[in-house]
Structure 1
């Protein structure tokens, strides 16, 4: 599908951001023109952080929760956020819950990042070829391109997310739960190997299965089921816009990219975005204005 135009830096100065040093924004339009509507208590288009908020796109309607470690001014508060991160290495969590507005093939839905400009520091092409081959053996549906003018890293939604729960309306897990349970019984007997309704296929086996485009293409997201998509990361530190490996290695991402961090899921065929949010960091915004 078409790639979005480059977003300008936020008009509001960082001093007015409700969650400084970061600002979460919903991009107003998808490439096919469907408006993304968000309900937020904040001015200047800022979305809540640390508490769920409702949104709707042309393909999906539901709510999203973004938690960021060490963000003391989140709407959830340091205590509530700390309860989620306590005892875990996770640096952020994104949880989306809701329904599709029309049936969509599972192989057509991807998530990740797509950039509109070349990376400021590109990996050598000779290194990318064997890396691509290795990763695609493990995840055949992965789209990895870090050397072109429009880099991207996109994976099949069901093949990449940490946890997925597909439930009848009213039976879905609480989006603010600290532990979303894997529940893929709605996808058929392959994912419900036991008559015991408490037993489900593991998330790792689900990821392995849906990473194969041929297998994923046999499944469709329907409009009745409430889907909960939970994902987290322990390397990308959003509060500082750094890659961080424990206390050993830290790297400032503004040396590599000059675009905001993206939280997106979209149609691979170009039918639009399920959701698209940008998280700006103040040091990135200040560089973009120069």
Structure 2
């Protein structure tokens, strides 16, 4: 009884304190460039008011009171609800009052349950702990939660099957299109050759021979060439279809499902239009479907594209080699080893870890001539993570296998179309798919992502695209008000710092990717040197623990294709300057010691 009375009185005290604080600080909209933080107050103003009116000048006690209000749901940071008040804080931080009283009360109930659980643990014997029960845990055990989870799982499976069907249909159509064009070109060339041979026969050979033997011979030769060309093209086309039927998902009944997916995209992802053009629903819908397919196809690394004219990389690609790495027995996350790729840029520096293994699940600081900030790498199924609880909380209930978050500031202004991300290699790739598939995928990528630089066949394969158009989440914040990349499981999109069409802050992720996929439109925006940018990259195809691609219908090992070269988390400019570059090695990429011994003996 006494505990209930005390908790009730504490709740009333905090509610009264929150009301007094609301009248004691200045609440208004704060602007940072084109970004607006609505209805917020300053961290320094709240601490000063609390010191004057409540704690008698003690800053630590004032911070404790403010954090109690934050934990009970009365106030919170404008971007990151987990960001606390701190004593002797010099940065300009913005906090706001929680308007929804039901949310505040629910948080208060959770805080009370956690407080009761903490008090209960003190009375238990050593070695035993009382499991914490809160509102979320209770709801998860209800029939309603189980029903919702079942429905979500079914919808996720349906979307996955639909995606596979869509990719298969699109790939087949593109390959057939390329095969048809090639066949038409061969027929046209053969017909032209036939006309030339006939003209030559009629005008030169016949007058000199005065007989029809030349006509018969040349006609027979030309006919043989024509028939052989037709047979060869038909055989190639038939072999392509056989290869497709053995490696892609059959889509015999996928038309209605694709149509439903288009309708869902049209409903859920409204797009912005150019101001000087009238709105065209059919055109916007086609644009959305092109972008939806692009987000799927761009995950496939085995694509080839002729080098784009606007992406001329002048610097020769360099990499750390296996002989620069420590012995695999010393890898802390074996069979995976993450490290900085220093050969690309001497200025690229990780102060705490230098050339050693980078942490997994924990942010680490880095700097280069163009960027300074921190990076967080999460890899599912990789053992000995430096933050297993955080990784489990992030990957739980998600199909994602890989996440990289980079947060920091640029050291010089750069146009958006000039900043690229992707992968690059110093040796040719091996065991590539059939050239027909590569060519079809190349043309498909060229249509879906005009700014992409994808060149697989060659001495230095490259797969690069605009970072602003391919990152899953992009946001910019005033320094000090950026989200905590380690504790924030879901980073929110906010590109209002770019200005222009993004100034409203209402452009969705799909809208941003579609708008910035064009290099011409992306060149209108810049990364400045004062905003703190956050880039979130994640995907569900690459399983780093096994170094394979999970395509749904099969797992494809990457080590035989990469030719002993690692994948990277990199960012560079189109003129070859690097912002960051981190390698993710796997033990399967390293040369076999027995093979090395045999090579030495043969030499």
TM-score normalized with structure 1 length: 0.91
Over aligned residue pairs, what C-alpha RMSD do you find?
1.8
Output the CA distance in 1 between the equivalents of 2:531 and 2:319.
Answer: 34
- Of 18, 27, 34, 2:341 maps to 27
Shift of 1:287: 4.1
Output the CA distance in 1 between the equivalents of 2:468 and 2:355.
Answer: 33
- Structure 2 match to 1:202: 508
- Structure 2 match to 1:183: 494
Count of equivalent residues? 279
- Paired residue secondary structure (2:342): coil
Shift of 1:14: 0.8
Deviations 1:39-70 (A, max 9, x none): 335x8611111100000011100000000001
Output the CA distance in 2 between the equivalents of 1:265 and 1:101.
Answer: 14
Q: Does the CA-based 8 Å contact 1:263-1:278 persist in structure 2?
A: yes
- Structure 2 match to 1:250: 555
Shift of 1:6: 4.3
- Structure 1 match to 2:584: 279
User: Structure 1, unaligned stretches of length 5 or more?
Assistant: 194-198
- Structure 2 match to 1:196: none
User: Structure 2, unaligned stretches of length 5 or more?
Assistant: 1-312, 597-603
1:255-274 aligned within 5 A = 255-257=560-562, 258-270=564-576, 272-274=577-579
- Structure 1 match to 2:327: 13
Flag the structure with larger Rg. 2
Relative to its length, the structure with more helix (as a share) is 2
Q: Does the CA-based 8 Å contact 1:182-1:200 persist in structure 2?
A: no
Shift of 1:200: 2.3
Output the CA distance in 2 between the equivalents of 1:217 and 1:208.
Answer: 14
Output the CA distance in 1 between the equivalents of 2:325 and 2:447.
Answer: 43
CA gap of 1:109–1:263, structure 2 versus 1, over 3 A, is same
TM-score normalized with structure 2 length: 0.45
- Of 134, 148, 151, 2:461 maps to 151
Output the CA distance in 2 between the equivalents of 1:89 and 1:38.
Answer: 30
- Of 337, 350, 354, 1:38 maps to 350
Moved more, 159-168 or 121-130: 121-130
Output the CA distance in 2 between the equivalents of 1:128 and 1:70.
Answer: 31
Output the CA distance in 1 between the equivalents of 2:351 and 2:398.
Answer: 30
Deviations 1:141-193 (A, max 9, x none): 01111222211111100011100011111121111111010000111141244
Q: Does the CA-based 8 Å contact 1:34-1:58 persist in structure 2?
A: no
CA gap of 1:99–1:6, structure 2 versus 1, over 3 A, is closer
Q: Does the CA-based 8 Å contact 2:549-2:557 persist in structure 1?
A: yes
Shift of 1:96: 0.1
Moved more, 278-287 or 87-96: 278-287
- Of 512, 535, 538, 1:229 maps to 535
Deviations 1:241-260 (A, max 9, x none): 111134x4112111111201
Relative to its length, the structure with more strand (as a share) is 1
Q: Does the CA-based 8 Å contact 1:139-1:211 persist in structure 2?
A: yes
Shift of 1:29: 3.6
1:3 aligns with 2:316: yes
RCO higher in structure (CA 8 A, sep ≥6): 1
